[in-house]
Chains A and B, each alone.
Chain A
């Protein structure tokens, strides 16, 4: 228990205040540790998934952190709304960090059956964004 971060909460809160960080969330084996510089408040507990996602089909997860854009900034419509047939490697959405857009790629050929990601919201690594129903496509015509 000597390695528990709970025993260092006061120190960490002070470091946060010094660094000008408002809030720190740490996911680990002890659960989700939330520290804010407003006070040494700790919310341990089992890790709570960001969304309740039914495990139907292949889940496409966020490859990183950024603002989720279901529609490319140049386009009117979403890149991959429900029902879209997609190919392995096709961009279903992009994650925006500043001026950089990182594609969220389909891991296989399939059809988009659900969109779990929230457009315009900060998305974390591993968040479930899409559900695909995999298909066995032949080579492109």
Chain B
């Protein structure tokens, strides 16, 4: 299947689940900011779960399908239409040659995301680099020529065994199926990090109980948050050391920065906490201007959160399989 980007896009790129075997060489993970949206798009299409998709961050966005096939659209609900006909959020459907998919602004509603994902049967066909098809902009590797997508770019899909093995279905968004809120504000679970106890009691009390706003200086590299100032008991000077996505650093000024999937693999700011891997997608979908709460958890809680997501994805797979007659052509 072949498709063409028809928008003067910004910040759209090919992503899969990320690049994990090269972190030891200082190559960051990249990958989808909302890994659940990517996974579910692939589950709906019957793809391997790590098949590459298009991540879109700025709207409107338009794609022309040159040939027929099947796609899934997950993530932020952008009131998408296919040749003018509304497409259900978090759904998979077939597409005919010549049809145009148009995504508008992310709709406000029970849950408003910031990023949308277009998966296709078989996954986007670009060469893997260091084990992943994700685009890393900093190093200009992976994805389509190591760069953001541009108007006129044509993407093809890898061959798929079967098109839409589960038919045209949609799935409940994980934000609704696995809700996590604190006092009416979307929340993420956080492990205390190495320098947590070196912050003042008052700062810690604020960090764990007050909402922080996602400022406009927030992107795939990191989210700059604004809220109650976090102060160390005494000034800290740390040597640069390895950090991972989810790490919450506190530079001078006391406003926290959360490393996201394109974040630098090393840094020297004090670390107050780490957003757990299971919840990075929740933060990744927090729109600019929205608020987030940090909920303290521990190792067991972090592992249990991952297990819960794995179990829910299994439920979805089983549900799709059960609805599909075995003798479907």
Contact = CB atoms under 8 A, between A and B. Distances in A.
Interface of A: 64, 72-76, 79, 87, 89-91, 94, 96-103, 105, 140-141
Interface stretch (B130-138, B166-174, B287-295): B166-174
B315 A74 contact: no
A100 B85 contact: no
Contacts, number: 72
Contact of A140 (B85, B168, B320): B85
Contact of B316 (A99, A102, A140): A99
A124 to B, nearest CB: 15
Contact of B109 (A74, A94, A98, A100): A74
Given A99-B319, A100-B323, A72 B169 contact: no
B88 A101 contact: yes
B121 interface: no
Contacts of A76: 109
Given A64-B323, A72-B89, A73-B173, A99 B315 contact: yes
A89 B87 CA distance: 10
B85 A89 contact: yes
B312 to A, nearest CB: 7
Nearest to A105: B168
A74 B177 contact: no
Say which size band chain B's interface belongs to: 20 to 34
Contacts of B107: 74-75
Nearest to A141: B84
A102 B177 contact: no
Given A74-B77, A103-B168, 11 more contacts: A64-B323, A72-B88, A72-B89, A74-B89, A74-B111, A76-B109, A94-B170, A99-B172, A99-B319, A101-B88, A101-B172
A75 B84 CA distance: 19
29 contacts: A64-B323, A72-B89, A73-B110, A73-B173, A73-B176, A74-B77, A74-B110, A74-B111, A74-B173, A75-B107, A87-B84, A87-B85, A89-B85, A90-B85, A99-B171, A99-B315, A99-B316, A99-B319, A100-B316, A100-B320, A100-B323, A101-B91, A101-B171, A101-B172, A102-B169, A102-B170, A102-B323, A103-B170, A140-B84
